[in-house]
Structure 1
Amino acid sequence: MNSATEDKYVSKKAIAANEERFRALITAISDIVYIMSADWREMKQLEGRDFLADTNEPLADWIAKYIHPLDHDQVKTAVEEARRDNKIFQLEHRVLRADGSIGWTLSRAVPILDHKGNVREWFGAASDITETKRAEEALKLAKKRTDQQKRVYETIANSTPDLMYVFDLQYNFIYANEALLSMWGKSWDDAIGKGLLQNGYEPWHAEMHEREIDHVRTTKTAIRGEVSFPHAVLGKRVYDYIFTPILNDKGEVEAVAGTTRDITEIKQNEQRKNDFIGMVSHELKTPLTSLTAYLQLMEKSNPAQEDPMTKKILGQSIKQSRRMTNMINGFLNLARLESGKMFIEKEPFDFATFLQEIAEETRMLYSQHRFVFPESAPVNINGDMGKLAQVINNLIGNAVKYSNLGSQVRISTIIEGDQLKISVSDEGTGIPQEEISKLFDRFYRGQNNNLIAGFGIGLYVCREIIERHGGKIWVEQSTDQGSTFCFTLPV
């Protein structure tokens, strides 16, 4: 053997050894290994390793056996491109697995050349990527659903006249719907990512909302408020808003969502209503006061009142005129309260003396009930005597209204720390437990009160008066044996 022939032999042997090592490496790291003929018409061998069915003899209909029908054309096209340019075949496609199910592979095949540079066969390997493709499909489906939900939510958010927005924890807007952008007179790019001041809020307004965002973040609870804000087109408007925490999967606040509603028209209508109630009540009060005075004058001018019927009629007339006066006063106070015109004019006075004056008037007005008033020591209170008298008279009036004739109404006082506690107890029908929490709401009347006159504003006004004095009012107990209403005043 001459040297040239010997070199050629050594070279072929080295190439064969390299090829064997290459095959061994691919076989070791691949899920599937296969060998194709030079023209790809036959599959010479396939080791499916339980993923695909093995074949140890040439197979001509390998496409029908292994490739999913929907991918036949795609595989044929990729094979033709690889053969034409003698380049690596590479393709992701579906296959028919050994168990009959559909799987996915990433298949690669390299051309193996003979000593003349011609392709003698193709050596291929494939990986099982079924789970990866399933995950991709699930992710794609989830994204599609998310995009669909996003479009629905954006449609809802942008079609409502309410202002909807989201703050990050640095007080910057990270979302604003069309209504809010319109109110600002800004585009999305101009507003999003910017803070309150940058979006036109006055310093006091920005500071207020920043404190509220801090409160939501700290407490993880919603907060509600009302504020005036200039609209870019409509001018100054009144808004009711609520801030709500957005929690992550760890239960931590990651953002704060807000919703704001324009209540300008509602406020204007309420003001018109209050003005009307106040005007009508004031106009009614003047003639009613005169009528009561005339009735009292008639009663005093004929002290003997020999005719029992006349005496009874006068007494009932005075009683009813006082009741109507109290109702009108209630409407006046409600109108003043809601328009912000109810003033508490405090001055120091002795509550014990004040209560005795109320006792004398009460016994005259409600002669068919028994009243027990305390014999208390002097107690100094700083308050509005007229407003506090209205509270006590209202509680006494309710006690009389909801209890039988001849029953007892007890008024008691006790000092607890720096508070004076006043209680009014009756022997009436009591209040259902489910109604107690609603008693001090505006215009609320119990389900069983349809036969008793009233508009459900007395206790609402009482609560406002007591709270403006720095006290509290509540129902201490209520059974079918009677109820006890209590309130406190700072001593």
Structure 2
Amino acid sequence: MSAENPSPLDSTETSSSNEYQQRLLTAFAQAFWETDAQGMATADSPSWRAFTGQTLQQWLGEGWLKAVHPEDHAYALEQWQEALRSQHPMNAEFRLQTPQATWCWTNVRASPILNAEGSIQGWMGIVLDITPQKQAELALRKSEEQFRLLVTASSDIVYKMSPDWSRMEQLMGKSFLADTTQPSATWLQTYIPAEDQPSVQAVIQQAIRTKSIFELEHRVRKADGTVGWTFSRAIPRLDEQGRIQEWLGVASDITQRRQAEEALRQSEARLRAVLESIVDGVYIGTLEGITLINQTALEQLGYATPDELNRHVGTLAGEIQTRDWQTGVLIPLEQQAFARALRGERVVQDVLVRHRLSGQDRVVRCAAGPVLVDEQVVAAVAINADVTDIVRVHRQVEESERRLQQAIELAELGTYTIEVATDRITKSARVADWYGLPERTTVASSFGSIQARDRQRVNQVLTDALRPESSSFYQVEYTIIHPRTGQQRILRTNGQVHRDASGQPLRVEGIVVDITTQRQSQLALEQQVAQRTQELAAAMQQLEATNEALVVTSGQYALLNQELRASTAEVGKANNDLEEANRQLSRSNQNLEQFAYIASHDLQEPLRKIQQFGDLLKSHVPPSSEENAYLERMQAAASRMSRLIKDLLAFSRIAMGQVLAEPVSLADVLRRVQDTLSLAIEESSAQIQLDDLPTLPGNATQLEQLFQNLLSNAIKFSRTNQAGEPIIPQIRITSQMMNANELGVTVKPSRAATSYYQIEVADNGIGFDEKYTPRIFQVFQRLHGRNEFAGTGVGLAIVQKVVDNHGGAISVSSQPGQGARFRVYLPA
């Protein structure tokens, strides 16, 4: 392993040419270094540090040993200590670390530096990188060892060939091939089928030219006359001049393996045919890549060929953006179904994937499981089913159920389901509370809460509905008694019987409504009618008794009759005036409706033409030209005019609209408003905080316009900091109930009520001077220029009109730079 040792260096020579030697050695070697007479590094060696990655402190003294491979440490120290003891040069091979935290083989040489008296005054050394040579040496050694093992372990064929392979010197076939102990020049024709001879000869000639190992799988004629397969390998034996003396080779019978491989190929072909017949996407592989995939899966994911998927699964998952189908959040690789299957799990997972080519998102149901061989996971198989349409229908059903539940809650209805086979009933929470029973009970226990006189009638109605000839629908009213409180309620239930294909009843689903108040009001009304009837009869008797007195006072009656006719004439005139006013109001409303149509269609149409022709003209002029600037100004003006007309139309509709009061959830209103403004909220990063908001009587559409304008203004009129950067809008909406006498003197609702809800919308925007408060609620009034903030000046006028329509009031407090607080008061 050692090369020729270098000679000691005389100090008289080195002192005169030290710098030259260092340059020469640095150019020749990877590192140059020096130590004192005791072998301690006392001076810096930049080339050593650059080669090993050590710091100066790590190099000094005997620190260089820390750069030696742990397995070579003892040998390197022994060689260095022997050189110091014997004062002879050192030449050793061992591994050193590199700055890249790898190891390389080096030849480290060192020679003593002698002074004029012949004593050692120090040591000089170099480091040579011999990694390529060592790797070649190790490879050759490994190759030779493999060949020896192959020859030793071979149980089939051993052969010897002449240098040019023209003659087979010897072959021991061991029943696979026919043995030959005599040299044969026709071995090629004897053992190799004619159609395979050219390919075998080509590989032989290549091995001869390169003096490298011959290695080939090829067909041969076996001893029994059949054709089989062999794996043949031969190495050249060279003389001292590198000339080939002979070839020593071994060969194995691989007929069964090749037959098995052919069977495997046919099996894979059948497997691929099966995979292609499956309508869902199927693929098999490991984390390193997908090895088998059908065309459906390729099309699902947006890949053209299977080779594109022969990459790490993490890379593929990033390309198709595997996400949670409900939240859209990326799923980490280790949590994805395919990776979990490689850990032995069987997983069904719905995910959102993005088609790699079209960018379209689809919901895929991935069913993945492990492929086991000898109870070890060797791969995973996954089946992808596109369930986008199923999920869409599922969401629509969920939305319908949600809306139905909202309607049921809003109408204060209850629901129930009776399972006919088990005779059990499942009630909604409201119905269970009315009955004073658990939500799930037997039908008999629920009937126990029905008033005794109604029980038989209700049971008969249900029994009739279950009969095959019935319409399957029923309605019945009855009284229930709460078993603990004794409270009575009058309920009306509507039921529908659901049947199987043969007409047998499966379940009954129904809705229950509490009509206690309605029936009590009806009873009170009937009692009131009876009372009024009695009072009327008494009055008639009194009238008859006074008729005689009326006859006596007929003169006075005649005078009273004349006054009554005069009053009647005045009333008639007033009625005529009122009818005329109604006709004028009707004409005014018709004119306003006609104006609304003109504003929404006839006035908008020319503006659309202006914008369309503007786009057409802009395509014929350079983008940076003065004409293009004029066209952009023209289109911007048309766009502003369109917005102004739309806002004016909205204002006019609200101004003439009638509020048909119905319960409106402000929480639902604000959710819809936030959906409408979602783009503005996202672009401004606005943060909106909602407190608990009430349900109050009003018009949902108008209330949405009210809060949409307030929130839109809070986002639009946001501040910037001293650096000119926008400040994130902070908006909070709160509510509280107030009695009428708690309202401030400046708050004057348009309709009197005993209590009001105060809804406050507070922001951290630019604010304004409160002296402008009367102005901001007027149509077309703006406190800022059009170039500062977009808008038409109609939004707050709409807010004022909606508040007036609901019989409420609005107030505002603000200071410049301190945001604004709008307080809306609506009757409770």
Quick one: higher RCO (CA 8 Å, sep 6+), 1 or 2?
1
Q: Which has the larger radius of gyration?
A: 2
